[in-house]
Amino acid sequence: MATSSLLLPSVPLNNLSCSGNASSSLCFAVGRSRVSMSVSAGSQTTVHDSLFADYKPTTAFLFPGQGAQAVGMGKEAQSVAAAGELYKKANDILGYDLLDICVNGPKEKLDSTVISQPAIYVTSLAAVELLRVREGGEQIIDSVDVTCGLSLGEYTALAFAGAFSFEDGLKLVKLRGEAMQAAADAAKSAMVSIIGLDSEKVQLLCDAANQEVDEADKVQIANYLCPGNYAVSGGLKGIEVVEAKAKSFKARMTVRLAVAGAFHTSFMEPAVSRLEAALAATEIRSPRIPVISNVDAQPHADPDTIKKILARQVTSPVQWETTVKTLLSRGLKSSYELGPGKVIAGIFKRVDKSASVENISA
């Protein structure tokens, strides 16, 4: 399955105002002109899902996904009151001391799906607050006109863009981690990164592996990260065959990923219904700026469409390479990676060596 290419028209889009009643800590004011995001239809307010279709990005906030976590993250957040407040709110929602696990570990606990996802979500939004108090930080935040996140990071991006409150986003992320862990526990599955091949070759490798395993162990590309780095998910036997065959396909190396199971494939199907129920009960507003979806590498404005896409996201391949290429081709000038690790900055450099990405950690 090759990643789809997206050629979309480009016309200027000014920064948008925050709508709805998003949590004040995450409803970021934006300067410049404001764009109306909805039209009234009787007593109903409807939003055109294609509102952001012609977006022209200049400054992006990028949020990391699972795997970026590291013991010690969140340490700097304690020095900024607004950032520390996010961890206090998180403790009430999660029922445990998240900051203590982020800062002190142990690593095995932080790496678990049910803890790493909330930890990265909160720490990434804490990084926004650290940037805010930096000289010129508020101006940078105000200049952001597009945002996206890798897998889990899409929820962080939506929170930043005012689509839901910090608290509601954290509740969704908590449930998402629990549901994905439960789905992973239900079948033996895994993920592996294939380094040094293009996506077409990785697809051929998957096809070859699938000829040697039964239906329950089949594999597929689950994450189109960047040229030369694609993650394959599937049944444990299928992943082992992929690893064994990779060298014969001229892969430079394979790296088994430290995740609970075959994320972004049908192995995560048991998680979908739980996510759908939680999303249905969550107030989601149209984001104030474009948030690029992992599922189709496009921005969506209609809250119901966003809910459907978030439910589908756990079983759909991540179209990150297309997202990065589209942002750059549309004129993106500067980017900030907010949260732990520097994975996204590395991916941008693989796509375009001249790309400007600054890491803001917490």
pLDDT, greater one: 2 or 10: 2
| Residues 6-9: contacts with CB under 8 Å, at least 24 apart | 6/296, 6/297, 6/298, 6/322, 6/326, 8/53, 8/54, 8/298, 8/326, 8/330, 9/53, 9/54
Please determine, for residue 35, whether its predicted confidence score (pLDDT) is greater than 90. Answer: no
Give the CATH number of domain 52-186+264-360: 3.40.366.10
Please determine, for residue 279, whether its predicted confidence score (pLDDT) is greater than 60. Answer: yes
Mean pLDDT, the chain, rounded, equals: 89
331 pLDDT band, cuts 50/70/90, is very high
Please determine, for residue 29, whether its predicted confidence score (pLDDT) is greater than 60. Answer: no
Minimum mean pLDDT range among 16-20, 80-84, 351-355: 16-20
Instruction: Write down the pTM of the prediction.
Output: 0.88
Close Cβ partners of 214 (under 8 Å, ≥ 6 residues apart) = none
Which active-site residues does the annotation give?
151, 264
Distance of CA 71 to CAs 106, 110, 201, 261, Å?
A: 7, 7, 36, 22
| All structural domains of the chain with their residue ranges | 52-186+264-360, 189-256
Query: What CATH class does 189-256 carry?
Result: alpha beta
3-state secondary structure of 251: coil
Please determine, for residue 118, whether its predicted confidence score (pLDDT) is greater than 80. Answer: yes
Distance of CA 181 to CAs 5, 233, 248, Å?
A: 32, 15, 33
pLDDT, greater one: 45 or 273: 273
Please determine, for residue 7, whether its predicted confidence score (pLDDT) is greater than 60. Answer: no
Please determine, for residue 87, whether its predicted confidence score (pLDDT) is greater than 80. Answer: yes
Q: What is the average pLDDT across 60-64? A: 98
How many CA atoms, within 13 angstroms, populate the side-chain half-sphere of residue 145? 24
